Amino acid sequence: MPAPQEPNGAGNAIEISGLTKTYAASGQAAPKQALKGLDLAIPAGSVFGLLGPNGAGKSTTINILAGLVRKSAGKVTIWGFDQDVNPRQSRAAIGVMPQELNIDPFLSPRASLEVQAGLYGVPRRERWTDELLELVGLTDQAESYARHLSGGMKRRLLLAKALVHRPQILVLDEPTAGVDIQLREMLWRNVRRLNEQGMTIILTTHYLEEAEQMCDRIAIIDRGELLLCEDTAALLCRADSKTLVVDTGPARAIPALPQGVQAQRRADGRLAMSYPPSRVPTDALIDAIRAEGLAIRDVAVEAPDLEDVFVQLTSRPAPR
């Protein structure tokens, strides 16, 4: 697959400004505002994580980008094309691997890809069906009915369908939900390869460890609002918490520690002390241990992960 060209604009694959979506009232339910003036820029060539709890607005945002949901207000630019001015070009620049298994059960993988390519207007001479089938590991199942494929194989087919028109941007909506380890590794191997060739990847996932490992930059949204958008390394530094784990030998006592430090003895006897490094220096913990006459046989520091940051940011009380 040839490397995507640079977007028309300031080097962003997608630019979202003031994006609002309000779903109309239904029955007894009041109108629901799913997005509340979302502003977001996704750099071209990045692996970008779009995270948030259930109901945060992730799926609404993706469906608007894919042209499946009409926004209420705001501006969306995809690969330099204004979605309102150039809807066909903007839609052609993006491919979406949905969370739902929307596959015709009576078509083979090869036929599914050919139909999808036809819907995008890809000329026959420019189609790369065989290469796609090989990319996702479905060459041996190319002529089988989709209804005979396993759940994992159907997800592979969804990835191939998202790539038939050679988009510059690939959106993966919960791509590894409920899949086995082998499929997950295959998926991420292909994603890394596509990204190395220049494709921009947008990922939504509930597996925060996955996002931490894969994404260059992460945005967290909640209740239709952007909480933050930062490089992954900078985001992890937001959690003002570390754990110092010290092997003090057979001693079981917990020394007197500075205020704000929580300590416990783990099952293996090591002393684990959680503390905010912005207010409590690590040296103060070491000094407190030595003041008690305890031996220090080994020391390890456990840094926070993305889950810690995510919980801190999305645990705010709901508005009344």
Give, for all 320 residues of the chain, the pLDDT tens digit.
544 556 655 589 999 999 999 998 877 678 889 999 999 999 999 999 999 888 899 999 999 999 999 999 999 999 999 999 999 999 999 999 998 888 899 999 999 999 999 999 999 999 999 999 999 999 999 999 999 998 889 999 999 999 999 999 999 998 887 778 888 888 899 999 999 999 999 999 888 888 888 999 999 999 999 999 999 888 877 766 788 999 998 877 888 999 989 999 998 999 999 988 888 999 999 999 999 888 899 999 887 777 777 777 777 665 55
Domains of the chain, CATH where assigned: 12-93+167-236 (3.40.50.300), 242-303 (3.30.70)
Give the type of residue at 93: A
Distance in angstroms (rounded) separating the CA atoms of residues 97 and 201: 11
Q: Which two tokens mark 70?
A: 């009409």
The neighbour count for residue 241, using CB atoms within 10 Å, is 17
DSSP label of 88: H
Q: What per-residue confidence (pLDDT) applies to 112?
A: 96
Distance in angstroms (rounded) separating the CA atoms of residues 194 and 187: 11
Cα distances (Å, whole numbers) of residue 26 to 23, 29, 60, 210: 9, 5, 17, 36
pTM over 0.85: no
Q: What per-residue confidence (pLDDT) applies to 141?
A: 94
Cα 97 to chain centroid, rounded: 13
